[in-house]
Structure 1
Amino acid sequence: MERGKNMDWDKLRVFHAVAEVGSLTHAGETLHLSQSAVSRQIRALEEEIGATLFHRHARGLLLTEQGELLYHATREMARQLETAAARIKDSKDDIFGELRVTTTIGFGTMWLSPRLAKLFARYPELKLDLNLTEAVLNLPMREADVAIRMKEPSQADLIRRRLMTVRMRFYVSRAYIAAHGEPRSPEELREHRLVGYSPGAPQVAAGAEFLAPFLAENRKSRMTVNNYFGLYKAALNGLGVCALPDYLTRGEESLVNVLPELHSADIPVYFVYPTELRRSKRVAVFRDFVLEELEAEGLLAG
């Protein structure tokens, strides 16, 4: 490529689309271009920079080493353009557009989702992309706009607000107590079926540390589940003594907290978002909504 000559933005846009999907045809559908037009743009870009960007094979296209380098740059460009577009939209008075939120399966399914109708009633043009996963998504790389996390983030370029404190406790259904009795001591707990989070599944350290010795000492049947929704349903259906986050059981009259002196260490819950979104109105209204709901339920951290 000639010194001082800039790469063509249109060619980079086409390259990025092809790199994202690994297919000329699918990239063309996204860009509303024919496959031949996409192919011409890629060939022209390869000639311009003097490097092959893709390996062609039967299953599609794979990036070469040079292609990976260029894709890293175009991905960062796309992220910055996304951020700029979000800031422009947020400069208007109306709250609309997409907000990508990530949180754990348990919190998202059982606490957040049932309350979102109130948020949409206030902001009917807001769009939410809710990603429920135990994995920690990379907010600075814009894998999500906002995260509600069960630990304080370590990155310095994130804004965080402590929402509440969670503890793991033991719960049983009233029906289970009627059939099997209520454990009154840790020793008696060993004689009941214990239902807890799968030790090998991703989870907060405080929860795993709390449950591990009880699972090890359990003498009766036991059951483990890899998400808290499953554990909650197990508790409701009387499968045994279930270790659950205490926020999940508030207002659930059919569940009883047994051995209340036994609980995990405090698990802090944080609302987190990138510093570049600090003026985003979509982030602000969602944050304020979550804070209002927690405060109304007496869960909000002081």
Structure 2
Amino acid sequence: MDWDKLRIFHAVADAGSLTHAGDQLHLSQSAVSRQVRALEESLNVTLFHRHARGLILTEQGELLFDATRAMMKRLDAATARIRDSEEEVFGELRVTTTIGFGTLWLAPRLPKLFEKYPDLNIDLMLEERVLDLPMREADVAIRMKEPSQADLIRKRLMSVHMCLFATPEYLQENGTPQEQQDLSNHRILCQNPRSAQVGAAATLVAELMTNDVTSMLTVNNYFGVLQGVLHNIGIGVLPDYLSRDFPDLVRVLPDVHSVEVPVFLAYPEELRHSQRIAAFRDFVQEEIVIYRKTMKAQSLTSA
């Protein structure tokens, strides 16, 4: 099949419009239409249902679009490897991680990375769904469990525990729990048990609920839980790494926490020589060293 026709077909399928595809390809609508029709004739199939509201892929079109999408991702990977300079760090790096870790730990630290590499562009994709790195849905991932996908380079970064936090103002007004049973007199803020999250957090919340807790605020991500805690709504179930960036928060019932949650960084084997990934990996590792030193100093001070 003619590559130009496949490229144009992919743009049309992705945009759902001849006009929008033409704008992206810098071609007229008629030129795009001719190429698509020529591809349909060469395959002897109809690839699109044509409607007034736009174009919808036929079953055969869906099959071809799946193939061209995989081809484009492989081309993106090849392009990234070709463009990676031996000495310079530039271009786009697509980073995926959870909403909680991305908003609460990673994003606040990114100014340091941009200061060091001003020509680096970060596309930060925050979601609980595990993106397919070998298929280039992202370049690098930070996840709260060891990735199971094949052909990945993975490195354990740190461990996290889910703990209880509140503001001094909230505790002054409502009292500080001395044991778990005292939580029945407080509002608990946590991630919604039905939302995607690590099992350790869900297990801790289930344990807390056995203490006759009658008032709750549930949110579908930890950023929302933190905002509730900062506004004195109640006691929140949050990751322990917040202690560094929010030193005024009080750890409630310090002996109550989840089991260890491992944090892994992973990227495709084929990108092992990427200077962009190396820069990001080294940056994250350096920040974790700083984080650990700060946490150790805080622990010694509180002791």
**TM-score normalised over the length of structure 2:** 0.93
Task: Give the aligned residue type for 1:97.
Answer: G
In structure 1, C-alpha distance between the alignment counterparts of 2:173 and 2:48, rounded to whole Å: 65
Cα distance, 1:23 vs. partner?
0.8
- Residue equivalent to 2:66: 72
Q: In 2 relative to 1, CA 219–206 (structure 1 residues): closer, same or farther, beyond 3 Å?
A: closer
Task: Give the aligned residue type for 2:69.
Answer: R
Spell out, residue by residue over 1:145-177, the C-alpha distance to the aligned partner (whole angstroms, 9 max, x if none).
111111111112211111110111111111112
In structure 2, C-alpha distance between the alignment counterparts of 1:205 and 1:287, rounded to whole Å: 26
In structure 2, C-alpha distance between the alignment counterparts of 1:20 and 1:218, rounded to whole Å: 51
Q: In 2 relative to 1, CA 25–79 (structure 1 residues): closer, same or farther, beyond 3 Å?
A: same
Cα distance, 1:59 vs. partner?
2.1
Cα distance, 1:63 vs. partner?
1.4
In structure 2, C-alpha distance between the alignment counterparts of 1:193 and 1:123, rounded to whole Å: 44
- Residue equivalent to 2:263: 269
Matched, 1:280 2:274: yes
Spell out, residue by residue over 1:250-284, the C-alpha distance to the aligned partner (whole angstroms, 9 max, x if none).
25232111111111111111111111111111001
Gaps of 5+ in 1: 1-6
Number of matched pairs: 294
In structure 2, C-alpha distance between the alignment counterparts of 1:31 and 1:164, rounded to whole Å: 44
- Residue equivalent to 2:32: 38
Asked if the contact 2:140–2:267 (Cα under 8 Å) also holds between the matched residues in 1, the reply is yes
Cα distance, 1:87 vs. partner?
0.6
Asked if the contact 1:18–1:24 (Cα under 8 Å) also holds between the matched residues in 2, the reply is yes
Q: In 2 relative to 1, CA 219–297 (structure 1 residues): closer, same or farther, beyond 3 Å?
A: closer
Which runs of structure 2 are paired with 1:202-217 in the superposition (5 Å)?
Answer: 202-217=196-211
In structure 2, C-alpha distance between the alignment counterparts of 1:72 and 1:299, rounded to whole Å: 47
Asked if the contact 2:181–2:211 (Cα under 8 Å) also holds between the matched residues in 1, the reply is no
Asked if the contact 1:15–1:42 (Cα under 8 Å) also holds between the matched residues in 2, the reply is yes
Which runs of structure 2 are paired with 1:188-207 in the superposition (5 Å)?
Answer: 188-207=182-201
- Residue equivalent to 1:62: 56
- Residue equivalent to 1:104: 98
Q: 2:167 aligns with which of 159, 164, 173?
A: 173
Task: Give the aligned residue type for 1:116.
Answer: L
Matched, 1:159 2:159: no
Task: Give the aligned residue type for 1:10.
Answer: D
In structure 2, C-alpha distance between the alignment counterparts of 1:253 and 1:143, rounded to whole Å: 36
Matched, 1:17 2:17: no
- Matched residue of 1:298: which SS? helix
Cα distance, 1:58 vs. partner?
2.4
Asked if the contact 1:196–1:224 (Cα under 8 Å) also holds between the matched residues in 2, the reply is yes
- Matched residue of 2:278: which SS? helix
Task: Give the aligned residue type for 1:36.
Answer: S
Gaps of 5+ in 2: 295-303
- Residue equivalent to 1:252: 246
Cα distance, 1:219 vs. partner?
3.6
Spell out, residue by residue over 1:172-213, the C-alpha distance to the aligned partner (whole angstroms, 9 max, x if none).
111112111110011112221111111111111110111113
Identity of paired residues, percent? 59
Asked if the contact 1:164–1:299 (Cα under 8 Å) also holds between the matched residues in 2, the reply is no
Asked if the contact 1:236–1:254 (Cα under 8 Å) also holds between the matched residues in 2, the reply is no
In structure 2, C-alpha distance between the alignment counterparts of 1:241 and 1:282, rounded to whole Å: 40
Greater displacement, 33-42 / 107-116: 107-116
In structure 1, C-alpha distance between the alignment counterparts of 2:7 and 2:213, rounded to whole Å: 62
- Matched residue of 2:72: which SS? helix
Cα distance, 1:220 vs. partner?
3.5
- Aligned Cα RMSD in Å? 1.5
In structure 1, C-alpha distance between the alignment counterparts of 2:53 and 2:100, rounded to whole Å: 37
Greater displacement, 145-154 / 60-69: 60-69
In structure 2, C-alpha distance between the alignment counterparts of 1:9 and 1:67, rounded to whole Å: 16
Task: Give the aligned residue type for 1:118.
Answer: K
- Matched residue of 2:262: which SS? strand
Task: Give the aligned residue type for 2:12.
Answer: V
- Matched residue of 1:16: which SS? helix
